[in-house]
Structure 1
C-alpha cells in the first residue's frame, strides 16, 4: 500500500470567501477529522496535493499528515475521504482528510481493472461490458489493494465473470455477494433492415391502386 507524506497548515478562518482567496493563491482548503479527532480546517499546497493523488493508487493512499500551527507540528495517519472538483475547470476545490488507525479495519472502494481481449469480442464480434467497476472491501489500512485485476481473454459471447473469480489477498474481506457480475460479453445489437423485395411489392401495390383510381374516374365520366 502506498504511503505518502503531506504537509498542511492549520487555519482559523473559514467560509466561502476564505476558500476562494486560498484558491487564487494556488492553495487548497481542506479539513481533517475522524472518530477521535475534532475537525481541523487546513491549507494544502495545490502542487503537493496533485502530486499525491497522481501516485497511481487513486484515492486509497495512506497519508502521513503533518499539520503545522505556527508553534508545533502534529503528525497523523489519514486517507482522502472526499475530493470536490469544479465541474467545468476540473480544478480541486476542497479536500476531506479522514483520520485512521493502523490497527482498525476500514471500508473502502477498490477499483477493478480488466486485462486482455475477450475472444467473444475479437473473434465473435461481441461487446465487453464491465458491470462493476469498484468493489467495497474491509481490511486494515496497510492491506488495502491498489486494484483488483481480472483476466477476460477466455470470455466468449454469453460468458460472465463474477466476484468469485477475483483473487482476493489475505486479510481482505469482500463486502459483496460472490455472484455479483463484474464483466460479461454480449452479442452486438441487431439492426433490422427492410428487404428490397418488400419495398418492390409495396411500390407495385401503390401503382395498382393508382390505376384503379384512374379507371374509376373514367367510368364516372362515361356515366355522366
Structure 2
C-alpha cells in the first residue's frame, strides 16, 4: 500500500461559513481523531486529497505543524451533484497497529454455462490488518460455479497478516439460476383465465 503525503493546516474557524470559505479556496475541511487524543480540525489540499481517496483505505501521511502523523479516511462526504469533497474524517493510526477496515471484493472468471447470474451479497469484507499494509481489494475466482453455488467469507484467501473480521459463514457471492422468460401470449391467456 502506498503512502500519500499531504501538507495540512490546523483551523480554528468552524461552522458552515468557514467551511464554505475553505472549499472556495480549493481545500477541504477535515477532522483527525483517535488514540484518545482531542480532535484536530484541519484544512487539507482539495485536489491532492481527491486523488488520494480514490484508493480504498489509503494511508495518509499528514504534515501537521511540522509533525508527521499517519491517518486513514474514516468518513468522506461528497457533494451529491459535483462529486467534489465536502468534508473528511480521518482516523489516527500508528505503524504496526492493527485496524479494522472494509476492503472491496472483486470477482474474476466465468460462471459455468447456462446464463446464470452472479450476485454480490457483500461488496466489501471487513478485515483486520496492519495500518501500513491494508490490501486494496481481495479477488475471488468464480470460474466454473453453477446455480446454487455460493462463496462464504471463510472460503476467501486473504493476504498474509490480514484476518477476517466479518462473520466467517456470511455469504459473499452466490450464483442464481437464470429465470426462463414467460412468453407474452401465455401470460395474457393466464390473466384471462383468472378473470
> Do both proteins adopt the same fold according to a TM-score greater than 0.5, normalized to the shorter chain?
yes
* Cα distance in structure 2, aligned partners of 1:48 and 1:171: 29
Match of 1:215 in 2: none
Q: Which runs of 4+ in 1 moved over 6 A?
A: none
The question of 1:24 aligning with 2:21 is answered no
1:110 corresponds, among 103, 106, 120, to 103
- Considering only CA atoms, is the larger Rg found in Structure 1 or Structure 2? 1
* Cα distance in structure 2, aligned partners of 1:146 and 1:175: 16
The 8 Å contact of residues 110 and 145 in structure 1, kept in 2 or not, is answered as: yes
Match of 2:129 in 1: 139
Q: TM-score, normalised by structure 1?
A: 0.78
- Could you list the per-position Cα deviations for residues 115-153 of structure 1 after superposition, in whole angstroms to 9, with x for gaps in the alignment? 12212xxx2011111111111111221232111100111
* Cα distance in structure 1, aligned partners of 2:47 and 2:186: 62
Distance 1:142 1:45, change over 3 A: closer
User: Structure 2 matches for 1:20-169, cutoff 5 A?
Assistant: 20-54=20-54, 57-58=55-56, 60-68=57-65, 73-119=66-112, 123-169=113-159
Q: How many residues align structurally? A: 190
* Cα distance in structure 2, aligned partners of 1:46 and 1:104: 28
The 8 Å contact of residues 37 and 99 in structure 1, kept in 2 or not, is answered as: no
2:73 aligns to what SS in structure 1?
strand
Deviation (angstroms), 1:22: 1.3
* Cα distance in structure 1, aligned partners of 2:20 and 2:61: 26
* Cα distance in structure 1, aligned partners of 2:174 and 2:98: 32
Unpaired runs of 5+ in structure 1?
A: 203-224
1:78 aligns to what SS in structure 2?
strand
Deviation (angstroms), 1:183: 1.1
Match of 2:181 in 1: 191
Q: Give the superposed CA RMSD.
A: 2.1
1:168 aligns to what SS in structure 2?
coil
- Could you list the per-position Cα deviations for residues 57-94 of structure 1 after superposition, in whole angstroms to 9, with x for gaps in the alignment? 31x111111013xxxx1211111111111122221100
2:39 aligns to what SS in structure 1?
strand
* Cα distance in structure 2, aligned partners of 1:154 and 1:14: 56
Unpaired runs of 5+ in structure 2?
A: none
1:142 aligns to what SS in structure 2?
coil
Match of 1:218 in 2: none
- Could you list the per-position Cα deviations for residues 7-62 of structure 1 after superposition, in whole angstroms to 9, with x for gaps in the alignment? 101111111101011111211111111123211111111111112123xx31x111
